[in-house]
Structure 1
Amino acid sequence: MIIRHVTFDCADPYALATFWSDVTGWPVSDVDKPGDAEVLVEAPSPVPGLLFIRVPEGKTAKNRVHFDWMPVERTRDEEVDRVMALGATLHEDHRTPEGLGWVTLRDPEGNEFCVERSAAERGA
């Protein structure tokens, strides 16, 4: 068995997929367009894609599952700044004065995700 997609319930699938496409650098599927009820962000194999599906109800509680992202080309702090410039908002800042820790952000529809230190930062 393999995981094919990670699915997000949301109000605006295309807008949220575009945000996550910008965050990850993965493309929105060529067949998807604004107004579609389902929109796929295609991840490189074997990583599961991100599928966004319109639902009528809004988010009402903390996510039970969330992503912990580790930047590859930037530091944690550079990645936090970049993703916030794309539309994420700060939820909780768990960085310490020693440089350890992570940052919990929310995507434009309020889904929490974390940004951790890069591998280079962990090796320093």
Structure 2
Amino acid sequence: MTSTDDTATLPALGMTLDCADPVGQARFWSLALGYVEAPPPAGWDTWEAFLVDHDVPREEWDDGAVITDPDGVRPGLSLLKVPEPKRAKNRLHLDLKVSGGRHVDADERTRRIDAKVDELLAAGATVFERYSTAGTLDHVSMLDPEDNEFCVV
């Protein structure tokens, strides 16, 4: 890879999560990440107007959702309805880094992780496993409402 000052040639980064319920998953991941519904594409005032202009049948309007970082710093997340169920462990997963890092007092890190875990449990996630190092909570592996793995670190 070569270094260049021309970032216009770099691709934008987006993430897509295949799922059965894009609208429900968008609600969950908006809470988990602090994201909001993405605005409609430039040139359209609403998502409905965009979908109508592109002749998307009404019965397909909930087949996708897009959420975004309200500060525009982190990549967006598209949620796309697919017909097949999840079959295996994710090869890529998200880490929700809430603890502040190992330089933060261990009790405070645990409190921060547990608070986020409790919030996500209430939103439909499940705990897969808790991992400790030398008796101190390191991270919690969780599953979203459709069993996609992620960690609270």
The verdict on a shared fold, with TM-score over 0.5 as the criterion, is yes
Determine the structure 1 residue equivalent to 2:106.
none
SS of alignment partner, residue 94 of structure 1: strand
Q: 1:38 aligns with which of 57, 64, 68?
A: 64
Unpaired segments ≥5 residues, structure 2: 1-9, 40-46, 49-59, 101-110
Shift of 1:100: 3.5
Determine the structure 2 residue equivalent to 1:22.
31
Return closer, same or farther for 1:109/1:102 CA change in 2, 3 Å cut-off: same
SS of alignment partner, residue 79 of structure 1: helix
> Normalised by the size of structure 2, how large is the TM-score?
0.67
Return closer, same or farther for 1:16/1:95 CA change in 2, 3 Å cut-off: same
**Aligned residues of 2:21 and 2:81 also touching (Cα < 8 A):** yes
Shift of 1:97: 6.3
Shift of 1:11: 0.5
Matched, 1:95 2:122: no
Q: Which amino acid aligns with 1:71?
A: V
- Structure 2: distance between partners of 1:105 and 1:42: 22
- Structure 2: distance between partners of 1:29 and 1:6: 13
- Structure 2: distance between partners of 1:18 and 1:62: 22
Higher percent of residues as helix: 2
Determine the structure 1 residue equivalent to 2:85.
58
Matched, 1:79 2:116: yes
SS of alignment partner, residue 90 of structure 1: strand
Over aligned residue pairs, what C-alpha RMSD do you find? 2.3
**Farther-moved stretch of structure 1 (107-116 vs 75-84):** 75-84
Determine the structure 2 residue equivalent to 1:119.
none
**Aligned residues of 2:18 and 2:79 also touching (Cα < 8 A):** yes
- Structure 1: distance between partners of 2:128 and 2:21: 21
